[in-house]
Amino acid sequence: MKKSLLSILFTLGIFVTAIAQTTVKTSEVNFEDYGVCVEKATVKSTWPYSKHGLTQYYKGDVLVAKVNYTDGLINGDYIYYFNKDCKGKVREIHVYKNNKVQKETKYVCDEANGSSKKTEELTYDFKPDYNQKIYYYNLSELSKNSYSIGYELDYTNTAYNTMAEYAKKYNISDYLDIEKCICLIEQKLGGSKSVVYYYVGGKVATGSLLLYKSGSVAIRINGSEVKVYNKSGKMIGWEINGRTNLYDNGQVIKSGDTTFYKNGKIMSIETYLSTYLSFYENGIKQRHGDTIFYQSGKIESIGYGISFYENGIKKKSGDTTFYQNGKIATIGKNIVYYENGNLKTDGVNKYFENGKPEYIKDEVFERTYDFSGHLLTEKNLETGQYLEFYYNGRPKVKAYYNKDGKLDGIWAEYDESGNLLVVYNYEAGTKYDVSFDDVYSDFRNFFGIMKTSEFITLGDKPVEYYQPHEKTALLYNKGNKLFKNYKEKLTNEHSSKIVYDAMMAFNSLKEYTKDNSEIMQQELKKAKTPDDIAGFLSYYYSIKSQASSVNSKFADMLGKYENEFPAITKMDIKPLNAEVKTYNKAYYCEGKFNQGKSLLSKLDTLLSNFPLLQKQKQEIGQKQADFIAKFKGNKANKNLFGKGTVLLDFYSDRYEKEGNSTRKLSIGNNDLLPILIKLLSFSNGDNLDINAKLKNAKTNEQIEAILNFR
């Protein structure tokens, strides 16, 4: 049956060979739910240029689908792959026969082991009486050399007199413009029988090879030739053995693989992609293979990966684009630069054109800035605290967000001098006005309950009294003392500040109920005054973390310096030990917190100086050994060795006795090492001039002046 069809098509001049020659064409397409992909399609090299062989789709360098075509029809497995999780594993398999799906198998991604598992399998039962293939010319597109091939569809025993009737039955109006096409249909009846129908302008024409379209255009099929005429009888196209010639008012606009402009100049020469040629109307080459040119003759692009500006500056290379000044514009989708070379965004953080940050996000903080670098907002991603700032650095707003991103807790606003203006309370994004009595009442209800006395009455009514919960009684008693102090201050101080302090204290007290350890309670018992209690609530956790850091760093530093730098251990570290002991005994308050900050600064300096001192000490020792090996016993340089040793001994003694790590580094870098470098710069031969000058030098200052090492 297949031989019969090919025989008919060969006779009509539509196909000229039984064995199709193919080429691979690459293009960008929007491919289903994968978005923009690169399609690598195996297509026939001659008309009708249909897909014939393997077609693959790539997202970047990842294969996302592959399918086989036969004469434009899908046959075999159409395989889709995952391109994110389970990358490269099968997502779906659709089995086709002559463009009809026979079976679908779907898979899900098993992220645990990176494999895919079968979840669903559907089988379709198609039992058509017979099939047909539709081939047609769309004459409105013929002048553009654009031929279309139809779709293989089911057909029934019923005969149809018009294409319109057939199209209505099988809903193929989306595939065929039935009023503008001339179609050849081979109807397969089963076995070796077949009937050929010619549809012209929607009408069936049998027994004739002269086909008409509404009386305006004719196609004469004669052996291997196809000729196209306009309604006046003038030939406007001619195809023989697969090569097409098109005419416009007698002017050749296409001959074989070559297309012409109306002025007679070549527009394009199309064979395979690698040898494809096209030209501008002025004769300048426009394209050669995968290389495209500007009208000036300079290269515009090479394939899909590289492109250039007309001035020759690279515009794109892979996933990197450039400005006309040659500086990088983008890298991938996320990294963007300004034209002056400054980074605009790395995909998360953003920057102004002057290089200053606009938005910075790290593991803990999210910050925004103005063009001058002033901090505008700061959000702690761990605690939810949100701050806005004035230009003078003072806070404008203090607030809190919950894990759902909604305002939750205190909202406080300040003026530029730092004075509290207003305070509100938010609950899951809803704003509430709040008074001191509200906060005090919430505090009491959280830490205890109201009870009615069974024995004491006031008049006829039993007396009510407050009873704190036993486990948190200490927190209640200390908090209640603080709240009473706040209440006394209400008449004399700004009420918003009192409310704010009360809310902050209540929030801290609630947090401490989660800890409520024996150690915490012991420290809290030491708080006697309202100020002590407020200080404890504000600084307990901060100082707890700070104290751990202070003591671990001090132990680390002591272990490093004790043996290698005894002078520093004696002069810098022992006094620091006394400071650490005083700090550990101090009560939790702002003063202790500030003392801890000072200690950490000193410890960090000592710890950062230690590896520098180690390296410096080794370098000094090596250069001293080199100096001795080079000049000791060298009679010609007796004065150079002798006077140089005097100067080295002086600074070495200062270096060894120095008990401050920073000053010790300075002596090594500014005195000892420069002297050694200068001395080693002399040759071990006769240095008559320098030896003569050093002979009469009596003081270190005179030796330094002669050596001129600074």
How far apart CA 150 and CA 119 sit, in angstroms, is 35
Residue 329 lies in a domain: no
State residue 375's pLDDT score.
93
> Do 519 and 579 sit in the same domain of this protein?
no
Residue 102 lies in a domain: yes
How many Cα atoms occupy the beta-carbon half-sphere of 264 within 13 Å? 1
pLDDT along the chain (710 residues), means of 10: 30 36 87 89 79 92 92 90 87 87 86 81 52 36 30 34 46 38 41 40 34 37 51 57 59 71 75 68 82 88 87 89 91 92 93 94 93 92 91 90 88 83 84 83 87 76 82 91 88 73 88 83 88 88 90 91 87 89 88 92 92 94 95 91 94 92 94 94 87 91 86
How far apart CA 658 and CA 568 sit, in angstroms, is 7
> Do 36 and 48 sit in the same domain of this protein?
yes
> Do 573 and 701 sit in the same domain of this protein?
yes
Last residue within a domain, chosen from 78, 103, 127: 127
State residue 187's pLDDT score.
41
State residue 225's pLDDT score.
53
> Do 235 and 87 sit in the same domain of this protein?
no
Residue 344 lies in a domain: no
Number of domains in the chain: 5
How far apart CA 565 and CA 50 sit, in angstroms, is 83
Name residue 35's amino acid.
G
> Do 520 and 440 sit in the same domain of this protein?
yes
How far apart CA 640 and CA 675 sit, in angstroms, is 12
Q: Are 620 and 672 in contact (CB under 8 A)?
A: yes
Q: Are 95 and 103 in contact (CB under 8 A)?
A: yes
How far apart CA 226 and CA 584 sit, in angstroms, is 102
Last residue within a domain, chosen from 197, 224, 240: 240
> Do 556 and 677 sit in the same domain of this protein?
yes
How far apart CA 601 and CA 613 sit, in angstroms, is 18
* Residue 661: Cβ-neighbour burial (10 angstroms; 0-12, 13-18, 19+): buried
> Do 1 and 25 sit in the same domain of this protein?
yes
Residue 289 lies in a domain: no
Nearest CA to 181 out of 208, 219, 207, 153 is that of 219
Structural domain range at position 222: 128-240
State residue 86's pLDDT score.
86
Exposure string over 616-641, b if 16+ CB within 10 A, otherwise e: bbeebeebbeebeebbeeeeebebbb
Residue 445 lies in a domain: yes
> Do 513 and 632 sit in the same domain of this protein?
no
> Do 609 and 709 sit in the same domain of this protein?
yes
3-state class (DSSP) for residue 470: coil
> Do 73 and 191 sit in the same domain of this protein?
no
How far apart CA 336 and CA 421 sit, in angstroms, is 42
Residue 61 lies in a domain: yes
CATH of the domain at 423: 3.90.930.1
Nearest CA to 401 out of 420, 378, 421, 374 is that of 378
> Do 479 and 458 sit in the same domain of this protein?
yes
Residue 307 lies in a domain: no
> Do 559 and 702 sit in the same domain of this protein?
yes
Residue 264 lies in a domain: no
How far apart CA 66 and CA 80 sit, in angstroms, is 7
Last residue within a domain, chosen from 240, 267, 287: 240
